[in-house]
Amino acid sequence: MRKNNYKKLLWKLGGTISTVFPIAIAVSCGNELEKVANQDQSKHYATTDYSKINQLVESKNEEIAKAKESGNFKELRIGLITSGGTVDDKSFYQSIWEGVSRHSLQVGATWNKTVYNSTSDLTRDYNSFMLTDLNVWILSGYKHSNAFKIWYSQNKKEFDERDIIVIGIDLELSDSEVKPGKIITINFKSEEAGWMAGYAVADYLANTVADDEKRKVTTFGGSDEGAVTDFIAGYLTGIDAYNQTSDKKTKISSQNNGVVLDIGYEIAVQGTEAKLNNILTTNDPLVIFPVAGDLTKATVEAIKKLKKNQLVIGVDTDQSKAFEKEGESKEQESDSKYFFTSVEKRLGATIYRVLTDLWLKKGNKSDIIPDFEFNKTNANVKEGYKNDFVGISPTAITGENKVQAQKSLDKAKNKFEELVNASNEKDVKKILGIPEMNIDSQKGNEEKINQLVVKINSN
């Protein structure tokens, strides 16, 4: 962007600006903004691989090298806006940043790959990005859905004049709400992996716990939005599916015939720790499935403090990896041993595939965004297990039940593959009996979840 346009655009956007991490953008003059666009940001790229994408990246080396040699590629200048989290969370945002980082390093892009750590004012964040030459905005997290829609309606002319592509992760936006060829939304059928985790848990407990009264598990959510309850709906339906095949049934440890869906996402909030302890101690559930951000870590800490013999299911990535301790015996001392599995969104792999296909200008030959054509058609992608968008992690538990845990996980995947195939995969929820969740809260999600709890516990 020419520097004499910066002040004009800033005035149009209302004069608001903020801080980009690791880059500080100054309001005072366009020179600072131009300087940002030419900085080498490679030292800030992620070097971890929680998203397990190294092999995928290596498989693209030859194709990338040929495109660089011929010059047949689209230069991407990428910025990531989170919605409250940070890129060192060893989970959702870090996985996305790993995908961005691997792509950037592979194509040799070092000049202005930025990560933006937002807290609450997303409007301010979008305005900040408009003052740069970033041409790919990655908006991660469902909170962007409404925020970007409102901002776009107010800044449509200025945004549409720019060659910007928005990649929205966990966003819900219709084609009518954004100019064609400007946005790619990426969503995950997390309920599919949740179903496998639930089926596996029930099979595991049927094979390791003889006492019917002790075969109990539970789950809880930070809120009742669809991004949370999709996980839980799949999980509970998977348990119910297994129970229908066995006389050794797993029940849900619940409070008032339901599970907690309003615990929030931060243990520091007053009352949260007491709620968590109550969940862990009511009926002594053997497996806990937290879908509540940082409360996974708090759950592990609470289990240790309470000295409970309980296991945990992670979310978004293989969270057991985040609990491994360097220099210590993983088999005996690492907190990863608490993880029966994790319900994964393949975030790093997905964003890497999208960016790489955009860079390679694959167009309708892309295996992930064939419908997207710049300035012509948007792409709304929502995929599941069959397209490697979701999955379940290998077990990380230790001891005599480790082999059985992995057998149960493998059995659940095999059962899913038996039920779902290429001819019916569009009807997965109907086939598996998973209820439809609404993206917004207060839309009946809690009622549907609690109906599943009652069904499981009454059979």
Task: Quote the pLDDT of residue 26.
Answer: 31
Question: Where are the CATH 3.40.50.2300 domain residues in the chain?
Answer: 3-179+348-383, 190-344+392-458
Task: Quote the pLDDT of residue 414.
Answer: 98
Report d(CA 229, CA 235) in Å as an integer: 10
Rg (C-alpha) for the chain, rounded Å, is: 23
Residues forming a β-bridge with 313: 341
| Beta-carbon contacts of residue 134 (< 8 Å; ≥ 6 apart) | 77, 78, 79, 112, 114, 164
The predicted model scores a pTM of: 0.88
Which contacts of 109-112 are long-range, i.e. CB under 8 A and separated by 24 or more positions? 109/75, 109/76, 109/77, 109/78, 110/40, 110/41, 110/42, 111/37, 111/38, 111/39, 111/40, 111/41, 111/77, 112/23, 112/36, 112/37, 112/38, 112/39, 112/41, 112/77, 112/79
Q: Where are the alpha helices (DSSP H) in 209-342?
A: 226-243, 272-281, 295-306
| Residues 51/92, Cβ–Cβ less than 8 Å | no
**Local structure of 436: helix, strand or coil:** coil
* Yes or no: domain 3-179+348-383 corresponds to CATH 2.30.38.10: no
Q: How far is CA 286 from CA 102, 209, 216, 303, 450, in A?
A: 38, 10, 6, 11, 20
Report d(CA 93, CA 95) in Å as an integer: 5
Dig out the tokens for 307 from the structure. Answer: 């000295």
Report d(CA 339, CA 313) in Å as an integer: 6
Report d(CA 126, CA 142) in Å as an integer: 15
Report d(CA 170, CA 382) in Å as an integer: 9
Dig out the tokens for 369 from the structure. Answer: 């965004």
| Residues 420/386, Cβ–Cβ less than 8 Å | yes
Which is it for strands 136-140 and 183-188: parallel, antiparallel or unpaired?
unpaired
CATH topology of domain 190-344+392-458: Rossmann fold (3.40.50)
**Local structure of 299: helix, strand or coil:** helix
pLDDT tens for the chain, 459 residues long, are: 544 454 455 445 554 444 444 433 333 333 444 444 456 666 788 888 988 999 999 999 999 999 999 999 999 999 999 887 788 888 888 999 999 999 999 999 876 556 666 666 888 889 988 988 899 999 998 888 889 999 999 999 999 999 999 999 988 877 677 889 999 999 999 999 999 999 999 999 999 999 999 999 999 999 998 889 999 999 999 999 999 999 999 999 987 778 999 999 889 899 999 999 999 999 999 999 999 988 999 999 999 999 999 999 999 989 998 888 755 554 446 899 999 999 999 999 999 999 999 999 999 999 999 999 998 999 999 999 999 999 999 999 999 999 999 999 999 999 999 999 877 877 899 999 999 998 766 678 999 999 999 999 998
Element (DSSP H or E) covering residue 443: none
**Local structure of 241: helix, strand or coil:** helix
Task: Quote the pLDDT of residue 22.
Answer: 41
- Burial of residue 124 (number of CB atoms within 10 Å: 0-12, 13-18, 19+): middle
| Residues 223/441, Cβ–Cβ less than 8 Å | yes
What's at 406, amino acid-wise?
Q
Task: Quote the pLDDT of residue 119.
Answer: 60
